[in-house]
Structure 1
Amino acid sequence: MACSLPSRRFLGALALLPAATLGVGCGKALGISDAHAASSVPESTVAAAASTPSGMPVQQARFNPVTSGAVTSLAPLVDSVKGAVVYVEVKARPRRVAAIQGLPPGWAERFGMMPQGEAPARQGLGSGFIIDPAGTVLTNNHVVDDADTVRVKLGDGRSFDAEVLGRDPLTDVALLKLKGAPSDLPSVKLGDSDAVRVGDPVMAIGNPFGLDFSVSAGILSARARDIHAGPYDDFLQTDAAINPGNSGGPLFNMQGEVVGMNTAIIGGASGIGFAVPSNLVRALLSQLQETGVVRRGWLGLAAQDLTPELARALKTNTAKGAVVAGVNPGSPAARAGLKEEDIITSVAGRAVESAGSLTRSVALLKPDSKVKVEVVRAGKPQTLEVTLGTRPAQRGEEELAPRNSAAPVARKLGISLRDAEGGGAQVMAVEPGSPAERAGLVPGMVVVQVDDAKVSSASEAANAFTSAKSGAALLLRVRAPDSDATVLRALEVP
């Protein structure tokens, strides 16, 4: 399910409040407000369209809804794809909730926020769609985030337990694998979201409010919408009815191809829904299938849109691009010679029209890849070669470990690790109330020694942790985040 969230003004006042406390039991809501808070809908909010089944059969219908003066039924198209649309049910056990940072003791309870203690169990419903006959399913990350069990139901009545193969919180995409499923399930193709035009007919199938496999139709209303859900917003907008329960479901073109994954809605509005473009989903698939996480290219600079006013001030005739406002010392951009006031016009042959398009273009490239960056400097075009770095997690972002890494390490310790640059095991996540939290471990710390054994990788740390006897107290030597200083921590093994 999905919950409508408060207005941007209210969210701004409670910036430290975890989104989940705004609607327990409604799934992992996106803490975002409407894209134009100062426009004609200043108080509307964008909420996660909690979950919607989606999928389409292997056979693709070729269907033209426009005929000479007659209205053509969508029934043949629905029949051709509905078998691949699925119903996603998730359950999560109660979890401890850490104290809300920045608030004095007692304030959370005073203002009705979630206090430190036990978070209630969660149960939610969503949608998804099968993309290969062996049972690979796409859905939204917020549908399955924190789920302990995932059950997927097909339209023919069959149901399967599912494993979460991979998640990408920044684009709200998740990949599931059905357990024990046959290899001949109905499936659908990802279409070309760049080919769909504003005004083209589209169709959604999902489970709004638990009403199984509901169908709605409309048109593509807009492209490239930034609704402030994350740094890679590039949503398709549609007036096809999208409601809580549609999250993760497919948005089809008239050829029976998925051009978007239904993800968000405007709270209180009608006919305003948003979908992740299929081309963006396709770009993430290989990493989600191989490692379960998405690693993105990184330049290491701050940029802003090139406005007509800035263009005049910079004495350039360039109309579109991203102006470099700052370069991080030692970053890939700095090593390649990028400078403040450079205007970036393309990356790896892809035109850059704004700071947002620069962010999205670089994020689709793999770390360590060498790319050509076209810039205008002092009115003259130049080409620089940049070796991209790996985008680090920003403050407040969830950082996930690759499936083939040593994380998560022994659930009973409540810690996840990954290999750290320069050696050691970097702490990626610490579960509230766990032995790791009680030991004073926090994300960003790097474990370099466990008892007398030096640690050079996450796997070595994992082996040391998992081989320790119950009741043992492990002496850890760790490097604090953003520091070369080491400190000692004692980790008790339950």
Structure 2
Amino acid sequence: MGSDPATDLALLKIAALGLPTVPLGDSDRLRVGEWVCAIGNPYRFEHSVTVGVVSSKGRKIYDPSFDAYIQTDAAINPGNSGGPLVNVAGEVVGISSAVSLQGQGIGFAVPINVARDVLAQLRSQGRVTRGYLGIQLQDLDPDLQKLMGLPEARGALVVDVMDRTAGQAAGLKRYDVITSVEGKPVEDGDGLVRAISNRAPGSDVLLTVRRDGEEVTLNARLEARGGEAVRAELVELDDEPEAEGDVLGLVVADLSRQIETDLRIPPDRKGVVVRDVVGFETGSETLAHGDIVVEVNRSPTPDVASYRRAIESLPPGQPAWLFVFRPRPRSTFLAKIEIEGRR
């Protein structure tokens, strides 16, 4: 009746009566450390059962826009895919899907609650559509919490809003922190993505947002999520302008017209291009040659002079938060740099 490549699930209609069934559980109630068993036919050994525990929940293994896999150390081998992951009550809480080739004892299963949503759409329309806002997110940590002036490190930080998308139409802005969807709290970026992806395109959702210390309510009409992939290309930065030298940890230069054209840099992504990274440490995001630093602590840096002023105006001991645009593959993020000393 239909299939969903994203979760590797299909719905079949067969002419048969009296088939045995198994009860479906509630994967949202699963707890890390809970016992589970995987049933399948690995390597054609039929009706094999392996036992383990739930190692983690909400794992991303493919596309983070809709991955929320259960990780288990119950052995999942080739041939197990499609088999049930069962809890101690005999309820199906997941569908075995994948195994990590990098390490033993790491298998993944699609949560049964996700499968329910997928199968409902396959039954009604033969395919799966997922809601989409058109924003890029970054999880909050204690440092970002302090930067944004939040009481706790909970929510999803918006670091970019794509043009002509549902997020832009709703009025979302960079540095907004989405804290709830339809009144349900959002813990992190993954939680927001799942909440949006599980809703149908065209549906309206109410977003609660923290913006500059105030709470704002926005209504977004979701659009359909496309399946296009971002190509990772290596681009040589020819015709490089003269670099400024080590400006407190980064060797940066003004963007040349040739680089703007070659990298297809949008007008609102003007900044200084990173030539070398020396003498400082970053947090979860790492800067690289070719990155564009657009802002420092929310102050625009369209050229080297403004970048230098923004860095040198920081009080002693205060880290710098850089809003970075990465042309290849296209992404945006916030990077924190700790500067040990001033030159």
**Root mean square deviation, CA, Å:** 1.9
Is structure 2 residue 217 aligned with structure 1 residue 383? yes
Query: Which one of the candidate residues 257, 269, 288 is aligned to 2:103?
Result: 269
Could you tell me which residue of structure 1 aligns to residue 115 of structure 2? Answer: 281
Is structure 2 residue 181 aligned with structure 1 residue 347? yes
> Which AA in structure 1 matches 2:208?
E
Query: Which one of the candidate residues 160, 163, 166 is aligned to 1:326?
Result: 160
Distance 1:268 1:390 in 2: 34
Could you tell me which residue of structure 2 aligns to residue 174 of structure 1? Answer: 10
Retained in 2: the 8 A contact 1:223–1:235?
yes
Distance 1:352 1:263 in 2: 26
> Which AA in structure 1 matches 2:96?
N
Distance 1:177 1:232 in 2: 26
TM-score for both structures, normalised by structure 1: 0.45
Distance 2:118 2:182 in 1: 18
Which 5+ residue runs of structure 2 have no aligned equivalent?
Answer: 232-343
Is structure 2 residue 57 aligned with structure 1 residue 235? no
Deviation string, structure 1 residues 367-389 (Cα, Å, up to 9, x no partner): 11111101000011111111111
> Which AA in structure 2 matches 1:365?
R
Retained in 2: the 8 A contact 1:190–1:282?
no
Is structure 2 residue 226 aligned with structure 1 residue 392? yes
Retained in 2: the 8 A contact 1:284–1:294?
yes
Shift of 1:293: 0.8
Could you tell me which residue of structure 2 aligns to residue 217 of structure 1? Answer: 51
> Which AA in structure 2 matches 1:335?
A
Distance 1:312 1:376 in 2: 13
Distance 2:26 2:154 in 1: 25
Distance 1:271 1:213 in 2: 20
Q: Tell me the SS of whatever aligns to 1:294.
A: coil
Aligned pair count reads 231
Retained in 2: the 8 A contact 1:350–1:361?
no
Which 5+ residue runs of structure 1 have no aligned equivalent?
Answer: 1-164, 398-494
Shift of 1:363: 0.3
Retained in 1: the 8 A contact 2:65–2:197?
no
Retained in 2: the 8 A contact 1:225–1:233?
yes
Query: Which one of the candidate residues 143, 155, 159 is aligned to 1:309?
Result: 143
Q: Tell me the SS of whatever aligns to 1:303.
A: strand
> Which AA in structure 2 matches 1:368?
G
> Which AA in structure 2 matches 1:339?
K
> Which AA in structure 2 matches 1:217?
V
Residues 296/214 of structure 1: CA separation in 2 closer, same or farther (3 Å cut): same
Query: Which one of the candidate residues 199, 204, 207 is aligned to 2:38?
Result: 204
Distance 2:145 2:17 in 1: 57
Could you tell me which residue of structure 2 aligns to residue 373 of structure 1? Answer: 207
Distance 1:344 1:353 in 2: 9
Shift of 1:218: 2.1
Query: Which one of the candidate residues 113, 119, 127 is aligned to 1:293?
Result: 127
Shift of 1:355: 1.9
Is structure 2 residue 94 aligned with structure 1 residue 260? yes
TM-score for both structures, normalised by structure 2: 0.63
> Which AA in structure 1 matches 2:75?
A
> Which AA in structure 1 matches 2:154?
K
Could you tell me which residue of structure 2 aligns to residue 107 of structure 1? Answer: none
TM alignment of 1:380-459, pairs within 5 A: 380-395=214-229
Residues 292/371 of structure 1: CA separation in 2 closer, same or farther (3 Å cut): same
> Which AA in structure 1 matches 2:92?
V
Q: Tell me the SS of whatever aligns to 1:362.
A: helix
Distance 2:171 2:86 in 1: 44
Deviation string, structure 1 residues 351-371 (Cα, Å, up to 9, x no partner): 222222211110001111111
Shift of 1:327: 1.5
Shift of 1:175: 1.6
Q: Tell me the SS of whatever aligns to 1:246.
A: coil
Query: Which one of the candidate residues 161, 169, 173 is aligned to 1:335?
Result: 169
Shift of 1:229: 5.2
Retained in 1: the 8 A contact 2:149–2:213?
yes
Is structure 2 residue 193 aligned with structure 1 residue 359? yes
Retained in 2: the 8 A contact 1:201–1:218?
yes
Residues 247/299 of structure 1: CA separation in 2 closer, same or farther (3 Å cut): same
Q: Tell me the SS of whatever aligns to 1:373.
A: strand
Shift of 1:243: 0.8
